[in-house]
Amino acid sequence: MENEFLTIDDVAQNLRVTRQTVSRYIKDKELNAVKISKSYRISTDDFKDFLNKNATVDEPSVSYLRRTKNCSLDYRDKADEFEILFSYVNGDFSPIERNHNQEENRYIFGDNYFVLKKLLDTHKGKIDLVYIDPPFGTGSDFNSINDETVYSDKIVDSEFLEFLRKRLFLLRELLSGEGSIYLHIDKKIGHYVKIIMDEVFGYRNFINDITRIKCNPKNFARNAYGNYSDMILYYAKNRDRQIWHNIREPMNEEKREELFPKKHPKYGYYTTHPIHAPGKTIDGDTGMEWKGLYPPKGRHWRYSREVLTDLDNRGLIEWSETGNPRKIVLASEHKGFKVQDVWEFKDKGLSYVDYPTQKNENLLERIILNSSNESSIVLECFCGSGSTLKSAFRLNRKFIGIDNSAHSLDVVRKTFKRDNVECNFYQYISKD
């Protein structure tokens, strides 16, 4: 951004004001400008200073970083990346309860900003997967089934965005070169968070904006469409190297009945496909006679005659009453469906969960299976109920969880003991 200049039109477009308004800012010396030839130019540094002086806490503004092609949110008290990454924290992890002798599989009680900075000493570049479900900036409290306030969501707007941005920079440094992050967020603020994610991870490393259906359709009386979904932003540390297992969605019974309606006495449910395909071959095996038949005009056998004979001998060619052969395709050989970017994983009611913001464990398992290996470390720094850690443990991954809620600590200790999840518990202690 150094030595780069904006025109009055550039500034007006960024601020969504008229050229006359920008000229007035310059005349009133609210915005520094220099005259180059016959036109005023504003340096990007001066423009950023202007934004910092005039942005409000509640309304972050968007500017375009032309050199990186990324967008950036500008708001008051936005910290410098260098300051976030290299400021020193003086603290350590003190054991609360040890249940195994492994280095990983740990829950750390404390402010996740300080915990993440401390983890950089030992885990920089070692985390393969981050899933986070941060507070959504709604200004609400979340209560347990007995109405105890267990999770407070009071930071809002740009204060929330900067709170999250600082932690995202630290998480980026903890991610391995093959790592990825899934950030679960409410749509009210999610599109601002997308710009923060582009700034931290780079727009090129954006993979998906996943829509998660969280509940049944609503019928509120307000003048708007029903809100029954939230979003998961998925980024890679390096999209060319990320761990990706392409776990497919299994076929359910309804889909099986639609796609494989017939039943074979030996092979089970099936459907049939033509054994010929478009295109004519010249002097090729797939254009020659098989079982007294030739391919239809302008087509060729999809398989060699040897393969067709083998399929027929194994009972995998179905002959119609008119003598038309078709290949039998078995439901048992179906590899499942490519997972799309709309997921239906509904939250359970409060009476069925251990923690008020607890997420569906099938959703967590899909993410963990797709984006980590059995040797991977999975990290969740807004740990809540510990569902992410529990899912990672069941799938033979290592985990690190962080939360500063005493209720979270109590719930995780209780449920992990109940479910035989091996975990050591620590507290971050500041030495300042």
What DSSP line would sit under 304-322, residue for residue? -HHHHHHHHHTT-EEEPTT
Alpha-carbon distance values, 132 to 233, 272, 326 (Å): 10, 45, 50
What's the helix, strand, coil split of the chain in %, to 5? 30, 30, 40
- DSSP E strands: which ranges in 124-267? 127-132, 140-143, 149-153, 175-185, 206-213, 229-236, 262-264
- Does one domain contain both 32 and 122? no
The Cα 122–Cα 108 span in angstroms is: 14
Domain edge (last residue) among 318, 333, 348: 333
Tokens for 390? 């529990």
Q: Check residues 404 and 47 and name the one with the higher pLDDT.
A: 404
pTM of the full structure: 0.75
What domain range includes position 71? 5-81
Number of neighbouring beta carbons within 10 Å of residue 60: 21
- Does one domain contain both 281 and 230? no
Q: What is the pLDDT of residue 320?
A: 94
- Does one domain contain both 329 and 343? no
Domain edge (last residue) among 46, 81, 116: 81
Average model confidence (pLDDT) across the chain:
87
- Does one domain contain both 36 and 97? no
- Does one domain contain both 216 and 113? yes
Over residues 77-88, the pLDDT tens digits come to: 889 888 898 888
Out of 97-106, 137-146, 307-316, give the one with best mean pLDDT: 307-316
- Does one domain contain both 242 and 314? no
Tell me how long the chain is.
Answer: 432
- Does one domain contain both 226 and 347? yes
To the nearest 10°, report the CA torsion of 82, 84, 88, 91: -160
- Does one domain contain both 11 and 131? no
- Does one domain contain both 9 and 43? yes
Alpha-carbon distance values, 388 to 119, 322, 395, 418 (Å): 19, 58, 11, 16
63 within 8 A of 70, measured Cβ to Cβ: no
Over residues 1-59, the pLDDT tens digits come to: 345 788 998 887 777 677 888 888 898 888 999 988 878 899 988 888 887 776 543 44
Domain tally for the chain? 3
**Burial level of 389, CB count in 10 A (0-12/13-18/19+)?**
buried
Dump the DSSP string for 45-97: HHHHHHHHHH--SS--EEEEETTTTEEEEE-TTPPPHHHHHH----EEEEEEE
